[in-house]
Structure 1
Amino acid sequence: MFLTRFRVNTARPGARRLLSSPQVLHAAVMSSFPSLLPSNAPPPDGPRVLWRLDHTTRAEVMLYVVSPDRPDMTHLVEQAGWPAAATSSAPGWESRPYGPFLDRLSLGEQWTFRLTANPVHHIRRKADEPTKRTAHVTPVHQMGWLLQRQEQCGFRVLEKPADRRLLPGGTTHTGQPHHGDGYEFTVHDKRALSFDKSRGPAKAAGRKGAVSLVTVTFDGRLEVTDPEKLRRTLRQGIGKAKAYGCGLLTLAPLGAAG
């Protein structure tokens, strides 16, 4: 396993094209692996290629990739990097073995985390209708989506001490739980994406091949409750839309960015 970081040169036209469509960027990421054919599907329980864009500032965008093999991102440097500055020792991206870090994870460790995800649920408007996958659109429900998955993913989001909570019992005035007040995490950077699977940004709703999804980013603190489950989560991702930049969970020491 490898963890790779690539800084996007947002001033380049090629970068703007990549950033405009998760489908285009997905294809570019997958092209970083010479042995991976487009028809190859990841094994159900095995490691897969995961990626995420972090918009650190308006002008700084970082691409993170977790993959079974070491990538060759020469084409991304040419399209969306600084090709004139690339050298054999500094090709324009950084890749490090990820396995040693995964192997060291142990019960009870605490980390900061970052996750960009596509929180969804299934609803039925009428009793005789099939269920339909629908995005969670409020922060409380988006947080609840992650909290529902923490046990099976091998971690627990840390709870805030009582003296740092603003609401009595961590609830709203309606008596509903307010996860943002009770737990050490936030949800931000909500993006409603609409794009075409083959031709970039979707220009018209309902166009054949158009994809619409809502993504959000979680930042917070967690504790390892099951190292093996967490290793699997870090290799396989969380939730839907993994091909479109969702699901990649990363960890960093407490006090650092996720």
Structure 2
Amino acid sequence: MYLARVEIATKNRQKIKDLTHLGAYHNWVEQSFPDEINLSERKRHLWRLDQLAGKNYLLVLSENRPDEEYLKKYGVSGTVKVKPYNQFLDAIRNGEVMQFRLTANPSYSVLQPGKKRGRVYPHVTVKQQRQWLKEKAKKAGFKLVQQRLLDSKDDDGLAFDIVSRDHPVLYREKGRAMRLSRVTFEGLLQVQDVTVFKETLTKGLGREKAFGMGLMTVITEV
């Protein structure tokens, strides 16, 4: 596994003029793996958009190493960084407390009469979105830490918060535009089942993984 990051050239309007919706970012990520395209062996790539110290970044987690030339297509020159991820994953242990950041699409499915698949609806309130993560945690191999370390908008005493919420545009087939619910969580978690947790980190959490949702990153809490 590899974790890559590049600063997006937001100050160069001409360079990033194509990045007008989530599908364009998806295409940027996919094109950064030309060997997979040539071999018709497309892998799933988790990615998300991050903002740090006023700068915007594309973060990509992948099984194969991305091509840095393609990855910097819309990036600031000299900002591409690619690091092996397996050694970090192998060092994670049960009981470890970690800081996390997750961008996700909190949603739920309602079964429709006569249909095999349910209709998907987004969770819209902060309370609903927090509850979504609390319900996902156990099956994802972790639990949320019971500490009031962050400025929680809920009274559950859990040390995590929602730091951003928006509805970016995605163009589906025939140019039809739709907006997805995108929520970024930050806080503290404790690893409960390291095998399942590693799968969460590498396969993502929730829906719309192809469009910048589901990628959770963690660092050890000191």
TM-score scaled to structure 1, two decimals? 0.76
- Give the conservation status (yes or no) of the 8 Å contact 1:165–1:182: no
Aligned letter for 1:69?
N
Listed one character per residue, the Cα deviations across residues 1-59 of structure 1 (whole Å, up to 9, x for unaligned) are 011111112111233532x21101111111111222296554xxxxx3100111225x4
- Provide the rounded CA distance (Å) in 1 between the counterparts of 2:205 and 2:155: 20
- Provide the rounded CA distance (Å) in 1 between the counterparts of 2:177 and 2:218: 33
RMSD: 2.6
- Provide the rounded CA distance (Å) in 1 between the counterparts of 2:162 and 2:130: 7
- Give the conservation status (yes or no) of the 8 Å contact 1:193–1:213: yes
Bigger Rg, which one: 1
> Unaligned stretches of 5+ in structure 1?
43-47, 87-91, 171-177, 199-206
- Give the conservation status (yes or no) of the 8 Å contact 1:3–1:65: yes
- 1:107 matches 2:94: yes
Over 3 Å counting, the alpha-carbon distance change for 1:30 and 1:250 in structure 2 is: same
Aligned letter for 1:28?
W
- 1:93 matches 2:88: no
- Provide the rounded CA distance (Å) in 2 between the counterparts of 1:239 and 1:165: 24
Over 3 Å counting, the alpha-carbon distance change for 1:238 and 1:180 in structure 2 is: farther
- Provide the rounded CA distance (Å) in 2 between the counterparts of 1:94 and 1:128: 49
Could you say which residue in structure 1 is the equivalent of 2:196? Answer: 229
Over 3 Å counting, the alpha-carbon distance change for 1:96 and 1:80 in structure 2 is: closer
Give secondary structure in 1 for the equivalent of 2:181. strand
Over 3 Å counting, the alpha-carbon distance change for 1:121 and 1:10 in structure 2 is: same
Over 3 Å counting, the alpha-carbon distance change for 1:55 and 1:26 in structure 2 is: same
Give secondary structure in 1 for the equivalent of 2:136. helix
- Provide the rounded CA distance (Å) in 2 between the counterparts of 1:73 and 1:29: 11
- Provide the rounded CA distance (Å) in 1 between the counterparts of 2:208 and 2:150: 33
Displacement of 1:229:
0.4
Displacement of 1:188:
2.6
Displacement of 1:196:
1.2
Give secondary structure in 2 for the equivalent of 1:247. coil
Range with greater deviation from structure 2 (32-41 or 62-71): 32-41
Alignment length (residue pairs): 218
TM-score scaled to structure 2, two decimals? 0.87
Give secondary structure in 1 for the equivalent of 2:7. strand
- Provide the rounded CA distance (Å) in 2 between the counterparts of 1:143 and 1:194: 23
Listed one character per residue, the Cα deviations across residues 212-237 of structure 1 (whole Å, up to 9, x for unaligned) are 21000000000000110011111100
Could you say which residue in structure 2 is the equivalent of 1:201? Answer: none
Please show how residues 109-124 of structure 1 align to structure 2 within 5 Å.
109-123=96-110
Could you say which residue in structure 2 is the equivalent of 1:204? Answer: none
Could you say which residue in structure 1 is the equivalent of 2:45? Answer: 49
- 1:241 matches 2:208: yes
Percent of aligned pairs with the same amino acid: 31
Displacement of 1:77:
2.3
- 1:186 matches 2:161: yes
- Provide the rounded CA distance (Å) in 2 between the counterparts of 1:40 and 1:137: 36
Displacement of 1:98:
0.3
Could you say which residue in structure 2 is the equivalent of 1:81? Answer: 76
- Provide the rounded CA distance (Å) in 2 between the counterparts of 1:128 and 1:116: 32
- 1:145 matches 2:132: yes
Could you say which residue in structure 2 is the equivalent of 1:195? Answer: 170
- Provide the rounded CA distance (Å) in 1 between the counterparts of 2:51 and 2:150: 29
Listed one character per residue, the Cα deviations across residues 128-175 of structure 1 (whole Å, up to 9, x for unaligned) are 5864211001111101111111111111010126xx799xxx9xxxxx
